[in-house]
Structure 1
C-alpha cells in the first residue's frame, strides 16, 4: 500500500509540473496551420511524415523566424537507421514520428516550422511537411491556458491522495496497538461489581444459612454435669 501511495504521489507531482509549466504539442504534417503558444511553455514538434519505405534517412528541422532573414535555417538534424530491422517490421513502425522539443519559448521562437525527410537507403527521395506558423503570445492572449480540466483533475487527485494517506495512517496506528498488546487483544473486560454502600446490610452478597444448622438441641452430657 505504501508503494502505491508513493507512485500516486509521483504521478500527481508530474501532472502538477506539466500544468504549471505548460506543454504545447504541434504536428508537422501536410496541412498548413497557425498555432498559438504561451510564452515560457515547452513546445514539442512532431514530424508526422510517412517513412515506412525508408531504411535509412535524415530528418531536418527548419525554422523561418517572423522577424529576420527570409530564408529558413536548420535548427536540428536527426539520423534514423532501420536497415537492420527490415525483417521484424510491424504496423506500428510504418510511421516514424521524430520529435523535437523547444523549452521555455520566447518571442524569438515565433515563426514558421517544418520538417524534411531525406532518404538515403534504398533511394534518394525527399519528403517535406507543410509550414506551421507558431505565434508566441502572453498567457492573457491564450484562452483557457492551462486548461480548466487539468486543474480539476489535479484537485480531485490531491483530495483522493489525502484520503488515502489518512486511511493508511489509521490502519497503521491500529496495527501498532495490536503489536504492543498481543495478550489482551482477544480478552473480554471483566464486569466490576459495585462496592457496598455504607449502612447497607452485608447479607445481600452472602448465602442464606438455614436456621437448623445453628440451632441444636442441648447435649445430655452438659445437663448431667449441671445436676
Structure 2
C-alpha cells in the first residue's frame, strides 16, 4: 500500500465478499494496515436460497483465542444479504484476524466461513512515527541549537563591527586634563568669561562616551554644585561661559571628566579661581555723559562716543589684554595622527592651543585641508578669539572627497606677530562595513535544505525497516525514490480536496447502498449494519 495513501484517515475499507462456495477458514487472508485512531468497515455478503440465515463475526487476537464479537439473525427469507462490521477509533488491541460465519438452519444446518481479514494497527505510522521518535527529537534539538548559535555569532560579529566603525576605545585608555593658565583670573564686573576644560585621552583611537561636569565652589563654602553636564563622543574639550559676571560668581571653578566605556574612570582639574573686580565696570563703545555736562550741551541724554574723558566727566577704558613679549604658542596634537572614519559619519577635529602667558591671549585660528594626492591647500575655517584656547572643525556627512590631511595654524598679532602650525591629522574615509544580509539568507536556506534532506532520509530508513519487520521487503532503487517524490507532489496537490471529505460523507455514501442493522456486542466501539437484499 502506498505510504501517501495510508496518510488519508479515516479509512473505510470494504473487504471479503462471501458466498456459499467460499473457503472454509481464513486461508491466505487479506492484510490491511490501519492507522491508529481511524475507522474500518468490514463487509460480509452472501447469497441464500430464500432461507433465514444467521451472521456471526469472530475476532482472533492470537492463535489460541477466538472471540465472538457480533451475531445478527435474519428472520426474513431473503436471497441476497450482507452484514457490515465497523470499528471506530481503532486501537492497538484491535489488531488481529476478523472473519464472518453464515449459518443456515433450514432445510439443514450448514456453516459457511469467509476467508477473513488480518488487521494490523501499528504504534504509529509514516510521518507521525518520525515526529514522535527520539531520533526526530534529537535532530530537531540539535538543529535548533545550531541555528541559535549561528544567530548569536552573527549578532556578536555585527556588533563588534559597528563598534569598530565608530572607533571604540581600548581597555587601557586613560584620561588627563590639561589646566591652562592662569590659575587665578580677575575679571571686571558685568563682563564675560569662558573657562576651558581640555581633555587628553591617551588611546590609539578616538575616545567615546566622555562626560564633563563643571563644579563651582563659592568663597567660604565647601559645598560644590554641578553647573554643566554634557555627554559627547568626539569632542575632547568642554567650555563653561559666564556672562554678565556679578560678585556672587567669585569662587573656584573646576571640571570633572568621567569615561564610562570600556571601564569607569574619572579625573578632575586643578581648577581656576575667579575674582570679580568691583572697581572696574564694563561699558560699551559709548559712554554716559555726566549730568553737569548734559546741562552744558543742552541735550539731555546725549551719548558721546568713547574717547578722551570730558571735563568734569569720567571714562573708564579697560586695559588691552596685551601679551608680554615672551609669550609663546604651542599646539597640542591629540592622538591619533591617522583617523579612519566610516562613510557618511561625522568627525570633529580639535586644535588645542597652549599660550604661555600670564594673561589671556588674542589668537586667530585657521584650519587647512590638503586633499589626498594634491599639493593645493585651502582654508576651511578662520575665526578670531581672545579668550578661547581651542578651535574645533566638524565634518558632517563625510564623503570620499573629504579624505586628506587637516591641520590648524595659530597666529598671535599682539605684541609681535607669531604663528605656529599643528602636525596635522590624516583622515581616511572608508565605506561602512555593513553585514551582508544575503549571506544570512544563504546560511538559513542551506540549513533548511539540509534539515529537509535529513528528514527524508530518516523517513525512508524507518519505512524500510518497518516493511522488513512485516515480511514485505522492497528494493529502494532510484526509480522508486523518484516515484515517491512524484507521489509526494501529487499528494500535496490533492490533499486539500480529499481531506474535505468527512466521515459523515463516507457513511452517507454507504447508506445509499446498504441498510443498517443494530450490533449485538463488541469489545471495542463498533457499529454493525446488516441489510437484506431486495
Q: TM-score, structure 2 length as denominator?
A: 0.21
Give the structure with the larger strand fraction: 2
Q: TM-score, structure 1 length as denominator?
A: 0.46
Give the structure with the larger helix fraction: 1
Comparing both chains, which one has the higher relative contact order based on Cα–Cα distances under 8 Å and sequence gaps of 6 or more? 1
